[in-house]
Amino acid sequence: NAGVTQTPKFQVLKTGQSMTLQCAQDMNHEYMSWYRQDPGMGLRLIHYSVGAGITDQGEVPNGYNVSRSTTEDFPLRLLSAAPSQTSVYFCASRGQGAGDTEAFFGQGTRLTVV
């Protein structure tokens, strides 16, 4: 059981470049989220989705786009990378049932923007 798979694990971008961070889950979870983790700032929610075709903004959405065309996939797009987007990005998913509320995380993508 693969769980949540993120690719790539590491990425270096130049300022102004665009890229897509991939996230896929095989647990048929309705809820998926993207977080960024910066030193001393915990996890900050970028965007989240409650099902295919439905997305919403978190607390730090600027500079990022998402879409959810399938239950399994939730890619995060950086439109024009900036040094302030240097961070570790985590994708998470969880189910919708009453006893199914724990989140499963990917291994993270470490992004450096130079």
Partner 1 sequence: GDSVTQMEGPVTLSEEAFLTINCTYTATGYPSLFWYVQYPGEGLQLLLKATKADDKGSNKGFEATYRKETTSFHLEKGSVQVSDSAVYFCALSPFNAGKSTFGDGTTLTVKP
User: Can you count the helices (H) and strands (E) in the chain?
Assistant: 0, 11
Give the number of other Cβ atoms within 10 Å of residue 68's Cβ: 20
Identity of the residue, 4 or 78, whose beta carbon is nearer to partner 1 in the bound complex: 4
Under the criterion CB under 8 A, does residue 79 sit at the interface with partner 1? no
Considering beta carbons, is residue 82 or 95 the nearer one to partner 1? 95
The nearest distance, CB 13 to partner 1, in angstroms, is: 21
Interface with partner 1 (CB under 8 A), residue from 66, 90, 111, 113: 90
**Looking at 10-18, 19-27, 37-45, 73-81, which segment touches partner 1 (CB under 8 A)?**
37-45
Q: Where does residue 71 fall: left (phi above 0), alpha (psi -120 to 50 degrees), or beta otherwise? A: alpha
* Residue 30 backbone dihedrals phi, psi, to 5 degrees: -75, -40
The residue among 30 and 72 lying less far from partner 1, judged by its C-beta, is 30
**3-state class (DSSP) for residue 20:** strand
Q: Does 61 bind partner 1 (CB under 8 A)?
A: no
Sign of CA dihedral 47, 87, 89, 66: positive
**Site residues, partner 1 (CB under 8 A):** 4, 30-31, 33, 35, 40-43, 45, 48-50, 56, 58, 90, 92, 94, 96, 98-99, 101-108
